């Protein structure tokens, strides 16, 4: 695949940002824990299709998103149920319920597969929004690699928050010891931990776009950032408000 040439922009882009994006596209193309490379790339494509889906636009205006019937505009690679989940995450995420997640799990979309899907959707959307903010095209998605999902599930899981099991705050040990530092297992960090690789992928992109987990301890200014921490948090708070993210 060809990557966008950031050197053509009128503003300077830190070198770690396109490098992080390129590395993520490579990981996206490979088999994950619960999806093949072909399915993972198709999930990424549906995050883009959702933005122009007529049914999603109609459902977004409905009083209840669960009482509207219709069909999504999609690429035809994934099952309709999977497409529906991806599109909801992109267009109507604040009305996803525990019952919705449980119903999907009872009908073939397991909670680990759901979490890997969420990780792909939010990471691809974050990269794409970076491009849209700059007014440049989103990057072409990679060609999928062959292979089968690993089916890996971490051993230490609890159901003490959210809609899916997670690794407990003190449970990031052994194979998962790199997921977070002791004392930094905030819920937003634990959210994807049912699929540890989803956490790792999100960490890398978030670390380039915002701050790494260790970097969050710096309350003044990272030497690799052009604005200070207070300015960053002001922007982050405003974006969260606009996106109705109340965490």
If we measure between CA atoms, which residue out of 101, 98, 92 comes closest to residue 64? 92
Domain assignment present for 126: yes
User: How far is CA 189 from each of CA 19, 49, 98, 158, 199, rounded to the nearest angstrom?
Assistant: 23, 27, 19, 15, 7
Report phi then psi at 166, rounded to 5: -140, 165
Would you say residue 204 lies in a domain?
no
Q: Indicate whether 167 belongs to any domain.
A: no
Task: Tell me the backbone φ, ψ of residue 200, rounded to 5 degrees.
Answer: -60, -45
Task: Sort residue 244 into left (φ over 0), alpha (ψ -120 to 50) or beta.
Answer: left
CA distance 24 to 6: 16
Domain assignment present for 128: yes
Provide the residue-wise pLDDT of the chain in tens; the chain has 247 residues. Answer: 556 778 778 888 889 999 999 999 999 999 999 999 999 999 999 999 999 999 999 999 999 998 889 999 999 999 999 999 999 999 999 899 999 999 999 999 999 999 999 999 999 999 999 999 999 999 999 999 999 999 999 998 999 999 999 999 999 999 999 999 887 788 888 999 999 999 999 999 999 998 777 776 777 777 778 888 899 889 888 988 887 776 6
The whole-model pTM stands at 0.92
Any domain includes 231: no
Number of residues assigned to the chain: 247
Asked if 192 contacts 202 with a C-beta cutoff of 8 angstroms, the reply is yes
Residue 153 lies in a domain: no
Boundaries of domain holding 15: 6-147
In a domain, 228, yes or no: no
Element (H, E) at 18: helix 16-29
CA 118 distance to own-chain centroid? 5
In a domain, 202, yes or no: no
Phi, psi dihedral angles at 217 (to 5 degrees): -80, -15
- Whether the Cβ atoms of residue 42 and residue 169 lie closer than 8 Å to each other: no
Count: domains in the chain: 1
Per-residue exposure over 130-139, b if at least 16 CB sit within 10 Å of its own CB, e if not: beeeeeeeeb
Distance CA 169, CA 148 (A): 30
Query: CA torsion 169→177→98→246, rounded to 10°?
Result: 70
Structure tokens at 170: 């003190």
């Amino acid at each position: 695949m060809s990557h966008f040439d950031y050197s053509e922009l009128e503003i300077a882009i830190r070198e770690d940002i396109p490098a992080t994006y390129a590395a993520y596209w490579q990981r996206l193309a490979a088999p994950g824990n619960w999806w093949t490379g072909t399915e993972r790339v198709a999930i990424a494509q549906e995050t883009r299709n959702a933005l122009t889906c007529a049914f999603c636009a109609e459902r977004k205006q409905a009083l209840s998103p669960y009482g509207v019937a219709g069909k999504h505009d999609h690429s035809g690679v994934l099952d309709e149920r999977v497409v529906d989940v991806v599109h909801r995450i992109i267009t109507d995420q604040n009305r996803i319920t525990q019952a919705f997640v449980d119903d999907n799990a009872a009908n073939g979309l397991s909670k680990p597969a759901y979490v890997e899907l969420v990780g792909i959707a939010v990471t691809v959307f974050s990269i794409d929004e970076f491009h849209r903010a700059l007014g440049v095209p989103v990057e072409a998605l990679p060609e999928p690699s062959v292979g089968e999902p690993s089916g890996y599930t971490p051993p230490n899981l609890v159901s003490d928050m959210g809609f899916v099991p997670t690794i407990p705050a003190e449970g990031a040990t052994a194979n998962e010891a790199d997921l977070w530092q002791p004392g930094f297992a905030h819920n937003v960090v634990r959210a994807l931990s049912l699929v540890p690789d989803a956490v790792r992928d999100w960490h890398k992109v978030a670390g380039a776009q915002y701050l790494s987990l260790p970097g969050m301890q710096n309350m003044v200014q990272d030497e690799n950032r052009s604005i200070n921490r207070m300015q960053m948090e002001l922007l982050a708070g405003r974006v969260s408000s606009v996106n109705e993210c109340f965490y």
